Structure 1
Amino acid sequence: MIRPFRSLLSLLALLPAMALAQDGGALLIADDVLIEGGGTLIATGNVEAVHDGQRLKAQRITYDKAIDRLEITGPITLFDGDYTTVLADAAELDRDLRNGILSGARVVMDDQLQLAATQVNRKDGRYSQLYKAAVTSCRVCADGKTPLWQIRARRVIHDAETRQLYIDGAQFRVGPLPIAYFPRLRLPDPTVTRATGFLAPSLYNSSLLGFGIKVPYFIAIGDDKDLTLTPYYSDMTRTLEFRYRQSFASGGIEFEGAFSRDDLVRRDNRAYVFGRGVFALPQDYVLRFNIEAVKDDAYLVDYNYSDKDRLQSEISVERVRRDEWRRAALTYFHTLRPDEDSSTLPSSVANFDYEKRYFPTRLGGELRLAAEAHSHYRWSSEITDTDLTDFDRFSDGRDVTRITTSADWMRTWTLLGGLRAGLQTGLAFDHIRVNDAGTTSRSSLSDVTPSTALTLRYPLAKTTSRGVTHLIEPMLQLAWVGGETRNIPDDESTRTEFDEGNLLSISRFAAADRRERGANAAYGLSWSRFAPAGLRSTFVVGQIARERTQRDWDGGQSFSQSSGLRGSTSDVLLAGQILTRNGLSLTARGLLDGAFDTTKAEARAGWRNAVVDLGATYIWLREDPQEERPSEISEWAFDGSYRLSRHWTGNAEWRYDVASDRSVRAGVGVTYTNECVDVSLSASRRFTSSTILEPSTDISLTVGLRGFSARTEDKSYVRECKK
């Protein structure tokens, strides 16, 4: 008889006594080890055995060489692989810990899903069979209280290879109350991220579609693709929604859509499809596509699929390198607005863009060469007057093709006293052709436009005794652009924004079909403040003065009334931003005319941290017939969420039209989350109406069970047991 006071037996010492797995390694640690009769080994006191990736802790292990069995006395903890832990009172296992019986066992998977049973049978290290079992992902405390939900079953089999749970005689309970019975169930264990089966259902109640239910079914077609089918049945509709995803070695695609027959549009099928994809091509090229199509204009809003009122489908090929950019794209637009006709809009668009940078050593600075080809097509073939302007001059079916090439040289110097001087000079060639142009504008023209600009900046910096840094930078740009106003329709530069991004620009039109002509001066001041505590703020003020007002060939002004760029002197631009370390941000921008009346204003405030995520937006635009805005727009929008407590989160949104004094949209919701369940209840109301839309109210309820293929990453939601 051998009784060491503290034994550490390695593989070489164990093989003669225990005859453990011959093709693996084993290690046993215990307070006391006793060998009786040359064939029985008894280890007691803080016993720990490690074998073939498994680790066993117990109070006593007895190995009988004659029957090649282990008798284990608990409490037992068996770490089986990377994500499964088995707790038991007692066990009888073979020498490999792969076959046997555990009594009073509890299996914990991925620290989430728990399976408790009176007995667990292990077979081949792959199958664990539990009898009279209870399954839950809710935290089970020692006070004996019933978990929030559980599945009681006659038998549960876990297949460690396929990572699936097979449940016989399943009774689903909420608290102590049985609410559903399933003869058989198959569920993925928590480590599975993709498994065919039903997802969490949702209940909906809509004033348009009535009361209904959605039951998604996920189909894992392979490791690289899947399909989700969601039948939606209600009092007013029979709908099938779908989502298809597939990954490739060089990219991926995703499509989503729906097919419906409802009582809103009788005797007609309704459908939509949205698709997107991206692929890496040889030589650093990237292919992207986006598809948006709908059968009728009101379908997306009726079913809350999207708020878009214009759809855009596009395919493009692009390459971006440090000194070069190439892009070719085909785009199709379709309007859903009741007052617009897609056939009279430039709905089919083709673009090609190329830009290359050079850095000549003798000349210095940067030489930038660019080329652009643009063409848009209207499907209308009627030669009728349009109402885009007050002049009857253009056809509703006109089509435009433009080719632009340019060369610009830019260089910056630092002069005495820290003054930064930048010089830019360039030459652009444009050729524009208009088909179905009408009778009062040219069908084609070509011109050459020279330009030059001198930019001066004088940054001034100061750091106070408290560590606050101030940076003040006056700036001035003197620019000149040659050439004359073109007698062609304005199709691309119909909307122009004046902001701090284009204050120092040679031309502020959106595209090259229009250019600012003559001499102008842009001047402004920027101020930035950086505090050690994390507070950052910036402020910009600027204005533009020209030698002449920018006019079209017919005498009308090129810029719209609300652009802030009309006349020989622009509106005053004011813009600012404040950022704090605790997540608060404020951004505002506005234009003031000569009488200091507001031309345009927008502001955004946000506050985001671990508890709150709030945002508010305000926008004001004056009426502008040239931008097809007959009345002013004044609108507030609020959105946010707030974590009310450990498990409860509330969210709300509200969009309000101040000009017409009515709400546009409002919604409120609440979500309960813990380690084993997600419950979301939301309600929303759309107040707008048109010839194809009517106001609607929607209520939805979704209940999701965590633990089955849904990991709890945020541990702050996990409930705590009372001590």
Structure 2
Amino acid sequence: MTRLIALLLTTALVAPGVAPRQAAAQDVTPQASTETESPQPAFLVADDVQVTPDDKLIATGNVEALYQGRRLKAHSVTYDSKAETLSIVGPITLQDGESTMILADQAELDRDMANGLLTGARIVMETQVQLAANAIARVEGRYSQLYKAAVTSCRICETGRPPLWQIRARRVIHDQKERQLYFDDAQLRVLDFPIFYLPRLRLPDPTLERATGFLIPSLHNSSRLGSGLKVPYFIRIDDHRDLTLTPFITDKTRTLEFRYRQAFVNGDIQFKGAISDDDFGVKSTRGYLFAEGEFELKRDFKLSFDIEYASDDTYLLGYGYTWKDRLESEVAIERARRDEYMRGAITVFDSLRFNESNSTLPTLAGNAEYERRLHPARLGGEIRLGAALHGHRRTSDLRTDGGDMDLWADGRDMTRLTASADWIRNWTLPSGVLARFQTGIAVDSFRIAQSGGLSASSATEVTPSTSLRLRWPLLKTTRGGATHVIEPVAQLSWVGGSNPDIPNDESTMIEFDEGNLFAMSRYTAPDRRERGLNAAYGVRWTRYDPEGWESTLAIGQVVRDEIELEYSGLNGFTTASGLQDNFSDLLVAGQLKLNNGLTVTGRSLFDDGFTATKAEARASWQNDLTNIGATYIWLRKDPRENRAGDISEWSLDGSYRFARHWTGSAQWRYDVASDSKVYAGVGLTYTNECVEIALKASRRYTTSTILRPSTDISLTVGLRGFTAKADDQSYVRNCKN
């Protein structure tokens, strides 16, 4: 009741004195208007409020004052209405907006709490960065000047120990409008030991996400590139554009890395790359450029581009930017609607592999496709109409075979036009059997240039097709609550016509898996189709456990007419595809997902002797402390797929948080077939509320005629609170008694 009476009394006494000053302030402020904005009264709550004969208001006991978004808490407040000043006795807490809090012992402030002096004060921003000073001068509600200040984002405990790091300065100015911190005579101290001195220093405060200045530096040592320091410099051009420049200079290379970003109303772009001057390659000046962008256009169209360029074959791998050995640049425009899809793209390929020549590869390709779905009421089902135009070009002028494995002219160029129409309808038969019937026709027209007489210069093929698929999903729930779903599937299909006498340029790599087990053709493009009568069958079993884990197992196989064995020849399926015989290899795939974050996935093809021809497995474990993944790949040798020998490789990547502040990471690749290491890397990171230190070491074992193995070591130290947000409170240290 006492606090309520004090509130009513204070509002009556203080608010009238505030209103004229507020109105006057608005008169001199260009953005404000006294006719449209009414002055906001001040509110004060306290255990006891007294008004003295000399027009002073004295509030004591749990005092709280609110004015213009500022909230003040103190032991006592004395307001002099004549001088319009506040004398405050602490402990004082001044909340200025949502992100800044000021703590002090005593204060002398003006009526608006925008100007004045606070002693024994601290500023806490975003609950991360703390600024402590003997005194803080408030100026115009915008600037806070701190004298003999110390700044840190580390947790400070009452143990007498200094923080892990701090910046000491003779004076610090905090500009709340520009959200910047300016330091005079600044020292960076680690455990109170001076590291270096700067006469002037500027840092963004934690509320500012983008500001021009230096970013986290990192120290790098490479057996190939030498030792040097990377110091990124971020340039904020405006609210929608920025540029980051990162010089890297050693005794072996002079490199400038860059990244440019720009956001538009309807999209965004990003360019990143590097320019180097070294003696490793044939050219003294080398570099790379990766660019990407995406834009939303009118009528639901989307424009995208992705550009990848490297000056030579070894630059990207030698500098550790990427492991990619085939670059792909593309410009595309597409639109996807419920019953319509269209896309057009131009793609340029650039192979960095030492055993591939870009002149005899189809490095320039163009694609255009259109698909439309119709739903006829009388006929039922769905009609799909499609059209596709594809063309690719080689820069070589060879009209003969250059001795590679395809036995076609190495300079050939090809254009293909495909039109198709299909009718699809589904039924539910007795006992819950689901039936799917599809029939259609496709027309493929080809034009081949520079074939050298090794194939027809043009060809047209009409392909009718039909198929019937039956699925019978069965469900059972056991007494323990587990749910089992078993779904046997069988399909019978027929595809007419015959493959024309043209080179196989598009369907060179065939993947046989669950995605195309029940397709009418497993080829990746219409330049080849599975013809004749064929069948596919399989079964899928899934178990859902009430405790949250599930398991899946799928088995399938394809059976074709004996006449179609010609597909195992030069123009058809490769020996490693698993589809080269009338009975395909047996496809087995499974997955196990546990509720503790462990997932195991595997897929394999087995021949008649139950020997694996292709296999892959992936195991991953993800939770709050662990993120580990391991992969194994096995591929049988196949010269037609550019594999002179078997491929058997293990790879491991992951991290484990083995202590509150410590996280370890590792990456490893091992070639089992050649019994050689490919890559190995380890890392150790220390993170708390105010610092993140990352130490990484890696070794690349790959080699070529102009590229040798290299070892790289990097050290990165980041001050959290300024350059990185400390949102994860699990890293924050506790103060022990």
Shorter-chain TM-score bucket reads: over 0.9
Choose which of 474, 477, 483 in structure 1 pairs with 2:491.
477
1:165–1:186: 8 Å Cα contact kept in structure 2?
yes
- Looking at structure 2, the residues matched to 19 and 566 of structure 1 have their Cα atoms a distance apart, in angstroms, of 90
CA contact (8 A) 1:18 1:63 kept: no
Name the residue aligned to 2:163.
Answer: 147
Taking structure 1 as reference, are residues 495 and 555 closer, same or farther at Cα in structure 2, changes over 3 Å only?
closer
Deviation, 1:534, is 1.1
Conservation of the 8 A alpha-carbon contact between 1:668 and 1:683: yes
Which of 319, 322, 325 matches 2:341? Answer: 325
1:45 aligns with 2:44: no
Deviations 1:240-297 (A, max 9, x none): 1100000000000000011111132376201110000000010000000000011111
Distance 1:478 1:452 in 2: 9
- Residue number in structure 2 paired with 1:86: 102
* Equivalent in 208, 213, 229 of residue 192 of structure 1: 208
Q: Which residue of 2 aligns with 1:202?
A: 218
**Aligned position for 1:12:** 12
Q: Secondary structure at the match of 1:623?
A: coil
Task: Return the match for 1:365 from 368, 372, 381.
Answer: 381
Is contact 2:504–2:571 with CA below 8 Å preserved after alignment?
A: no
Deviations 1:47-105 (A, max 9, x none): 00011100000001011223221110000000011110000000000111011000000
Note the residue ranges of structure 2 that are not aligned, 5 or more in a row.
Answer: 23-38
State the shift of 1:353 in Å: 0.9
Which residue does 2:82 correspond to in 1? 66
Return the alpha-carbon distance in structure 2 between the equivalents of residues 160 and 531 of structure 1: 56
User: Secondary structure of 2:174's partner?
Assistant: strand
Letter aligned with residue 126 of structure 1: R
String of CA shifts for 1:631-666, please: whole Å, max 9, x gaps: 000000011000011111110010000001111000
Q: Which 10-residue stretch deviates more, 540-549 or 469-478? A: 540-549
* C-alpha distance in structure 2 between counterparts of 1:349 and 1:184, whole Å: 56
Counterpart of 2:562 in 1: which secondary structure? coil
8 Å Cα contact 2:567-2:580 kept in structure 1 = no
* Alignment partner, residue 664 of structure 2: 650
Cα distance change of structure 1 residues 536 and 38 upon mapping to structure 2, 3 Å threshold: same
Post-superposition Cα deviations, 1:489-539, rounded to whole Å, max 9, x if no partner, equal 000000101111111110000001100000001011110111121111111
Which one-letter code corresponds to 1:57 in the other structure?
A: K
**How far 1:485 sits from its partner (Å)?**
2.4
> Cα gap change, 1:436/1:551 in structure 2, threshold over 3 Å: closer, same or farther?
farther
Equivalent in 597, 613, 619 of residue 611 of structure 2: 597
Instruction: Say what the alpha-carbon RMSD is for the aligned residues.
Output: 1.5
The residue identity in structure 2 corresponding to 1:462 is K
2:26 aligns with none
Identity over aligned residues, as a percent?
58
Shift of 1:351: 0.2
**Greater mean deviation of Cα atoms: 461-470 or 329-338:** 461-470
Do the aligned partners of residues 427 and 188 (structure 1) sit closer, same or farther apart at CA in structure 2, a change above 3 Å counting?
same
Q: Would you say 1:165 and 2:186 are equivalent positions?
A: no
What is the CA–CA distance in structure 2 between the aligned matches of 1:65 and 1:480, rounded to whole Å?
97
User: 1:540 maps to what in 2?
Assistant: 554
- Rounded to whole Å, the distance in 2 between the matches of 1:32 and 1:473 is 78
Give CA-to-partner distance per residue, 1:462-501, whole Å, 9 cap, x none.
0111211101011100000000122100000001011111
* CA distance in structure 2 between the aligned counterparts of 1:552 and 1:482, rounded to whole angstroms: 15
Tell me what 2:583 maps to.
569
Cα deviation, residue 388, structure 1: 4.6
Q: Does 1:380 align with 2:396?
A: yes
Letter aligned with residue 690 of structure 1? S
Once the two structures are TM-superposed, the CA of residue 229 in structure 1 deviates from its matched residue by 0.4
CA contact 1:651–1:669 (8 Å) conserved in 2 = yes
User: What corresponds to 1:275 in structure 2?
Assistant: 291
User: Shift of the alpha carbon at 1:383?
Assistant: 2.0
Q: Helix, strand or coil: the match of 2:376?
A: coil
Bigger mean CA offset, 574-583 vs 190-199? 574-583
Q: Is the 8 A contact 2:565 2:581 kept in 1?
A: no
Residue type at the aligned position of 1:569: F
Q: Is the 8 A contact 1:518 1:548 kept in 2?
A: no
Structure 1 residue 13: deviation in Å?
3.5
CA distance in 2, matches of 1:558, 1:624: 13
Q: Deviations over 1:548-588 (max 9, x none)?
A: 25456995461001100011110110001111222111110
SS of 1:7 mapped into structure 2: helix
Gaps of 5+ in 1: none
What is the match of residue 585 of structure 1?
599
Cα distance 1:358–1:290, how it changes in 2: closer, same or farther (>3 A)? same
2:725 pairs with 1:711: yes
Shift, 1:711, TM fit: 1.8
Quote how far apart the aligned CAs of 1:691 are: 1.6
2:350 paired residue number: 334
Distance 2:608 2:568 in 1: 26
Q: 1:379 to 1:19 in 2, by over 3 A?
A: closer
CA offsets per residue over residues 137-177 of structure 1, 9 Å max, x none? 11111222100000000000011110111110001101111
Q: Deviations over 1:272-323 (max 9, x none)?
A: 1000000001000000000001111111111101111000000000101111
Matches within 5 A, 1:228-627: 228-265=244-281, 268-389=284-405, 392=407, 394-548=408-562, 550=564, 556=570, 558-627=572-641
> Tell me, what secondary structure is at the counterpart of 2:603?
strand
CA gap of 1:13–1:404, structure 2 versus 1, over 3 A, is same
Of residues 89-98 and 35-44 in structure 1, the stretch that sits farther from structure 2 once superposed is 35-44
SS of the equivalent of 1:143 reads coil
Q: Contact 1:189 / 1:709 at 8 angstroms: preserved in 2?
A: no
- Post-superposition shift, 1:186? 1.0
Distance in 2 of aligned mates of 1:95 and 1:624: 84
Corresponding residue for residue 662 of structure 1: 676
- The 3 A distance-change label for structure 1 pair 198 and 677 is same
State how far apart, in whole Å, the 2-side matches of 1:356 and 1:498 are. 27
User: What's the counterpart of residue 138 of structure 2?
Assistant: 122
- Residue identity matched to 2:363: S
Could you state the TM-score of these two structures normalised by the residue count of structure 2? 0.96
Instruction: Tell me if the contact between 2:413 and 2:450 (Cα under 8 Å) persists in the aligned partners.
Output: yes
- Write the distance in 2 (CA, Å) between the matches of 1:263 and 1:647: 42
SS at match of 2:640: helix
Name the amino acid aligned to 1:436.
Q
In structure 2, do the counterparts of structure 1 residues 496 and 470 end up closer, same or farther at CA, with 3 Å as the change threshold? same
1:31 matched to 2:47? yes
TM (normalized to structure 1)?
0.97
Aligned partners of 2:718 and 2:724 also within 8 Å: no
- Residues 1:39 and 1:450: Cα distance change in structure 2 (over 3 Å): same
Measure, in 1, the Cα distance between the counterparts of 2:212 and 2:405: 58
Residue 631 of structure 1 is matched in structure 2 by 645
Match of 2:32 in 1: none
**1:178 match: secondary structure:** strand
